[in-house]
Amino acid sequence: MILKDILAISGQPGLFRFIAQGKGSIIVEHLETKKRTSAGGTAKVSSLDDIAIFAEKEDVPLGKVFDLVFEKEAGGPAPDAKADNELLKKWFGEVLPDYSRDKVYISDIKKVALWYNLLQKLNLLVKEEEKQAEAGTETAANSEDSSAVEEPKSE
């Protein structure tokens, strides 16, 4: 998943999209309400792209976890983050069987489910490979268009 511009701000509910860099702060837009605000230099802002889930062998990037959830749920929503803790642990174990049960808390699992459901509801779960393929298709289409134009012959 492409999560580079999606941000979580500590103490703020929901997720935000990075808009611009301001002087001593960043301008963000709430994904659900579309309300723009600024996050000051003291705010703890995390890009979802920088977040990883602890696993037994190596940490798994959040984007890869979202890919696994997407595959498991066939593109549908994950269980509600307010569901029973044991149900969420069982579900997360099916998604990522080797996650570290000592380091990943139930609050982390709830955030993964909550964030996934929000991004799924807003159709923002686009695989990186698909996005690159679309860009490649557009580039190929543009080059075909330019080669189809005949140069006028001058005599």
CA dist 111 and 96 (Å) reads 15
- 144-155 per-position pLDDT tens digit: 444 444 444 544
Evaluate if residue 131 carries a pLDDT over 90.
Answer: no
Sign of CA dihedral 3, 7, 8, 13: negative
Question: Do 32 and 90 sit in the same domain of this protein?
Answer: no
- Strand 36-40 with 25-30, pairing: antiparallel
Give pLDDT, residue 124. Answer: 87
Give pLDDT, residue 102. Answer: 94
Question: DSSP alpha helices (H): ranges in 5-121?
Answer: 62-72, 85-95, 106-121
Tell me whether residue 148 is in a domain.
Answer: no
Please state the domain count of the chain: 2
Q: Write the burial class of residue 124 (CB in 10 Å: 0-12 exposed, 13-18 middle, 19+ buried).
A: middle
The secondary structure of 108-144 as a DSSP string is HHHHHHHHHHHHHHTT----HHHHHHHHHHHHHHHHH
Give pLDDT, residue 136. Answer: 53
Tell me whether residue 143 is in a domain.
Answer: no
CATH number at residue 27: 2.30.30.730
Question: Do 43 and 73 sit in the same domain of this protein?
Answer: no
Tell me whether residue 153 is in a domain.
Answer: no
Give pLDDT, residue 145. Answer: 47
Whether 8 and 24 have beta carbons less than 8 Å apart is answered as no
Evaluate if residue 114 carries a pLDDT over 80.
Answer: yes
Question: Do 127 and 63 sit in the same domain of this protein?
Answer: yes
CA dist 34 and 21 (Å) reads 18
- Which structural domain range is residue 67 located in? 52-137
Question: Do 43 and 69 sit in the same domain of this protein?
Answer: no
| Degrees, nearest 5: CA angle 80-39-33 | 45
> For residue 149, which phi and psi values (nearest 5 degrees)?
-80, 125
Evaluate if residue 7 carries a pLDDT over 80.
Answer: yes
Question: Do 93 and 107 sit in the same domain of this protein?
Answer: yes
